[in-house]
Amino acid sequence: MPSTLGVLLTFLAYIIFIFIISQMTRRTDDNATFFLAHRASPWWVVAIGMLGDSISGVTFVSVPGDVVHSGMSYMQLVFGFFLGYIVVAYVLLPLYYRLRLVSIYTYLEKRFGLYTYRTGAVFFLVSKLFGAAAKLYVITLILQELVFAPLGVPYSLTVVGVVGIIWLYTQRGGMGTIIWTDVLQTLCLITTLVLIIYQLSSQLGLDFSGMIDVVRHSEHNRIFVFDDWGSPLNFWKQLISGAFIVIVMTGLDQNMMQKNLTCRNLREARRNMLSYGFGFIPLNFLFLTLGILLVYYAGAKGIALPEKTDSILPYLASSHLGSWVLICFTLGITAASFSNADSALTSLTTSVCTDLLGMDMKGGKSEKDLRHWIHLGICIAFALMVLIIGSLQQTSLLKTIYTAVSYTYGPLLGFFAFGLITKYPIRDCLTPYIALASPLVSYLLAYMLELTLGYKVGYEILLFNGLFTFSALWLIRQRDGKKVFV
């Protein structure tokens, strides 16, 4: 009961701080504030917030747990992430700032036409709704198991309550509020991670050099995999896949780019991108170090670990590591999940308003009222998606999310690549069919490669998907049409 009370009080205290920051930073209730915070955010504030947004609650539990099966090979993907951040900073950001976009998918309309524009926006909406809901599922499930289930609260009510809290503090300020609440959330996340590692090492009687020795001699410390080309963990597969995952999940994602576009100018936005991209490397290494320490702790104490790797950290934190670790864990995962969910809901609302309904930042009272209703509707759909995901059984949500977005973001990768590399116009009305067919063709190719050659396709399915979309656009290009320069 003391642990349950401590978790509940930690959660409530965190929510109070979020609402205080929300009230302090909410200047106006107009579209300019909600969409892009008047393009006046300090780059370093955005960078700190985006670091927490990129982590999410899924990373908090999946990355340490994945050490059991994959060692520290996740770092290969992280190194690829940084290459992707460089591409976004020097290829995509200049385009978005030159066109002064609110929604990045407006580029597709300028380059190709209305059908491609709407198709790109819809694929983003589907991808982000699933991905962000899967990440929020982690925090709602853990809060349910640790706090609300013992009190007799049904899981559905926990989900509605959490989404309702996010709706309350984002409905008016939008990005103008989230830019600042994300700073608190990131600082809480990093502090929590360090404190859990410290508490864990203390219980094991390890000083800093002792922790290094544990990691160095662990059977799970392997980072680089060069000797097995057929493995999804192969270095080159992971490195290249990581770069393209960032290009699509950051550079072609309205959620992440909307925060970048709140910076004052391109130079500051580029600083933001490179700074938080580099910070992602040591932060993920700490998560993997935590995973090795957890496995070592379980072995030293004779504790049987759960088969579901996402459950390892929650299980040890709630049952074996003591009240302080449990409270720290609750704070960290709440901060990580809220940081991801609040910006996702805002970007989804922005995309519906600007891409599907044609709103702009100068909208009047009627458009502002409509935006409020759309934001509420997105929150309801978000809560329903969390409940649907909760009915699925997955051993690693992080892998599930990356695999899913490899299919749904593939057409976006193909659209933007064709638009930037070539100047051909296309038969715009055919792009919705291409976007639907490309993931199906990619899935069939992956199935045939494994069946005939024993080659198991990993996250590189994203590359196949984008390549098929690019090739199909090449086939429907208008060779005699006037070249398009955007």
Mean pLDDT by 10 residues, the chain (486 residues): 70 84 70 72 89 76 87 93 96 94 92 95 89 81 80 89 88 76 82 88 90 92 84 86 89 89 92 92 93 91 85 84 82 78 86 86 74 91 88 60 78 94 93 94 87 78 90 91 73
Q: Which residues, in sequence order, are CB contacts of 119 under 8 Å at separation 6+?
A: 108, 411, 415, 431, 432, 435
Q: Strand, helix or coil at 477?
A: strand
Distance CA 98, CA 396 (A): 40
Q: What is residue 75's predicted lDDT score, i.e. its pLDDT? A: 94
**Containing H/E element for 433?**
helix 431-453
Any idea where the domains of the chain sit in the sequence?
A: 1-393, 402-485
Q: Rg of the chain's alpha carbons, rounded to an integer?
A: 22
Q: What is residue 30's predicted lDDT score, i.e. its pLDDT? A: 66
Q: How far is CA 221 from CA 67, 76, 77, 216, in A?
A: 8, 13, 15, 7
Distance CA 323, CA 302 (A): 20
CA proximity to 11, closest of 340, 319, 310, 328: 328
CATH architecture of 1-393: Up-down Bundle (1.20)
**Containing H/E element for 97?**
helix 93-99
Q: Does the predicted model carry a pTM greater than 0.75?
A: yes
Q: What is residue 377's predicted lDDT score, i.e. its pLDDT? A: 93
Contact present, 78 and 284 (Cβ < 8 Å): yes
Distance CA 182, CA 51 (A): 9
Q: What is residue 17's predicted lDDT score, i.e. its pLDDT? A: 84
